[in-house]
Structure formats: C-alpha cells, structure tokens
Structure 1
Amino acid sequence: MHSNFSKLKKREKQLKRHIAFVSQLGILHWKNSYLQNCKEKNRIQIFLKRITMEKSKLKKKCLW
C-alpha cells in the first residue's frame, strides 16, 4: 500500500514539473502550439486530480 502512495507522489511531482515546462513553452511558441500546450496542460491537470483522489483513498485505507 505504501509503495503505491510514494509512486503516486513521485508521478505527481513529475507532472507538476512538466506543467511548468509546458507553460514556458507556451510563452515561447506561436499561438497554435500554445493551444496544443494548453490542451496538454489540461490533460495533465486532470491526471493530477486523479492522482490526488487516489492518494486520499490510500490515506483513508491506511487509517483504517
């Protein structure tokens, strides 16, 4: 159970770093690739929400 939790935390960190990177790319590129980056960012943020939900589920299980 615990290893699962740390895997999720690690993945979350990677994704957050990736969001920052994508945001910077968006500023540097033209509009169409910026839109592409926004889509990518949204996709990642949805994934992050899912990770957060999984983490809270794991925490609840650990408490029981």
Structure 2
Amino acid sequence: MNITTEYVLLTDDQNYVVEYLIGELVLSNSITEAMKFNDEKIALRFKDRLKQSCQLTLSVNTYID
C-alpha cells in the first residue's frame, strides 16, 4: 500500500484554502476541494504569504489520500 502525505491550509474558522490567484482567495469547508501541497515547506511558505497578503491565521494540516 502506497500512502501519499499531502498538506492543506486550514483557517481559524475551519475553512480550507482552495485557490489564491490575482489577489482573490477562495475558501471551502470541504477538505476534498482544498489546495494540496506535496511539500510541507512549500505549504508553510504559502501560509506565510497568505498571512501577509490576506491577514489570515492558518494552520498546515496533513491530508492523507
């Protein structure tokens, strides 16, 4: 069995980051719609970028497919 660990960004009000493009942030309460990262370091950098640009409090969470 091959388990792939991916990472998603979760807001403090329990919504997942789906997309961020040209200053527009899309959120969803469904983890299946969430943007998934293969690398935790990239997820952490994206989290920091959204904190600066959108003033959001986010956490990086694992998503196991």
TM-score relative to the length of structure 2: 0.32
Mark the structure with the bigger radius of gyration.
1
Name the one with the larger strand percent.
2
Say which structure, 1 or 2, has more relative contact order (CA 8 Å, 6+ apart).
2
TM-score relative to the length of structure 1: 0.33
Name the one with the larger helix percent.
1
